[in-house]
Structure 1
């Protein structure tokens, strides 16, 4: 069974980033993956100081262990000032090769304005740096404030199809690259 950890990089209540991440989580579960959602809004993570001792913060170990045990990762970030959110970057900085090398990774970005790929490209670079495998499919949601209905469902069928292709690719590539069923 493919084990996936999904991490959302927003601290906002009612976050569109978590609505988008939930789309991926639901589809991955429907494909038979075991999915663990890590909600950074509920975790007590310090700012990364470049050290190795974060023993005063049990959530750092929880984050590291969840990613280490996973075959694949889904990262979702709002785009702030043309890049990945600080909270997601910090969470990634609290980990390294031991946790992320060889992991198959899917990327989602959520924007309030016009479409672009800045956060996705930055995440792709970060994950490549730690020797993770990023799938070619990615999801960017522009003007996210109008992408979901009041129940968190996608309003655009083409966007829903992109999530279907994205999650299928993550599962298929994880099976191939990690040798799991």
Structure 2
């Protein structure tokens, strides 16, 4: 360890290939939480999310869509608020997520951001998002843009989510649905199918090895130092 004087001996671990191949793998359906970013009566982000949920069902996943109606602004209520508790319970239940927001003023909506802001990085000693998968999508009122999905990717990384490479941006969303609220055949629809396929694959690949994938040297050092402090305090009593 002479070449790495700043590394604590015993806490730097080479990856174990066997740990990346869990046996037996989980067999339940991938659990996927879906968030959308509009409260409009005819919300295209909700309609896209509903189409994506149907695709996920066909792919063998278990999607659940959170309705943001009634969710208070962040810090305007306590964590015991029913909608906040519902959202956090769903985050804990999930193994991956889908975020779909309209683009408003070149950015995601406040409705979308409020939902994400209510999800803590740590909850009861557990990081509820770390190592879970994420797919991002947006709907546009005009020409195609990628501002919102790019912002959602930044948030996904901040929340320590494994954000998949593919994404969806639906241009002129108002023209992509029929009167019944079903999406018309189009390259936009095909892209959503691509994204959902990829999300399910990444979730199946990573859900059983999530703890291994996000095992960090810095956190092992922090835990080791905290344990040493507790031992020292105990010995001093």
- Does the alignment reach a TM-score above 0.5? yes
Between structure 1 and structure 2, the one with the greater Rg is 2
2:46 is equivalent to residue 18 of structure 1: yes
TM-score between both structures, scaled by the size of structure 2: 0.71
TM-score for both structures, normalised by structure 1? 0.91
Measure, in 1, the Cα distance between the counterparts of 2:165 and 2:43.
Answer: 25
Specify which structure has the bigger relative contact order, considering alpha-carbon pairs within 8 angstroms and separated by 6 or more residues.
1
Work out the CA distance in 1 between the residues paired with 2:82 and 2:177: 34
Q: Deviations over 1:161-180 (max 9, x none)?
A: 21211111000000111139
Which moved further from structure 2: 156-165 or 32-41? Answer: 156-165
CA contact (8 A) 1:65 1:99 kept: no
Give the structure 1 partner of residue 18 of structure 2.
Answer: none
Q: In the comparison of the two structures, how many residue pairs are matched?
A: 176
CA–CA distance in 2 between the matches of 1:150 and 1:45?
28
Contact 1:10/1:17 (8 A) holds in 2: yes
1:50: Cα distance to partner? Answer: 9.2
Q: How does 1:27-176 map to 2 (within 5 A)?
A: 27-41=55-69, 44-49=70-75, 53-55=78-80, 57-97=81-121, 98-176=127-205
Report the Cα distance in structure 2 between the residues aligned to 1:91 and 1:26, rounded to whole angstroms.
Answer: 22
| 1:33-65, Cα deviation, whole Å (9 max, x unpaired) | 111111112xx22221399x422x111011001
RMSD: 1.6
Q: Unpaired segments of 5 or more residues in structure 1? A: none
Higher strand share: 1
SS at match of 2:103: strand
Runs of 4+ in 1 over 3 A off after TM superposition: none
Q: Distance in 2 between matches of 1:80 and 1:164?
A: 24
Deviation of residue 7 (structure 1)?
1.0
Aligned-partner Cα distance in 2 for 1:149–1:46: 32
Match of 2:213 in 1: none
Contact 1:16 1:144 in 2 (8 A): yes
Is the Cα contact below 8 Å between 1:5 and 1:73 reproduced in 2?
Answer: yes
Task: Give SS of 1:84's match.
Answer: coil
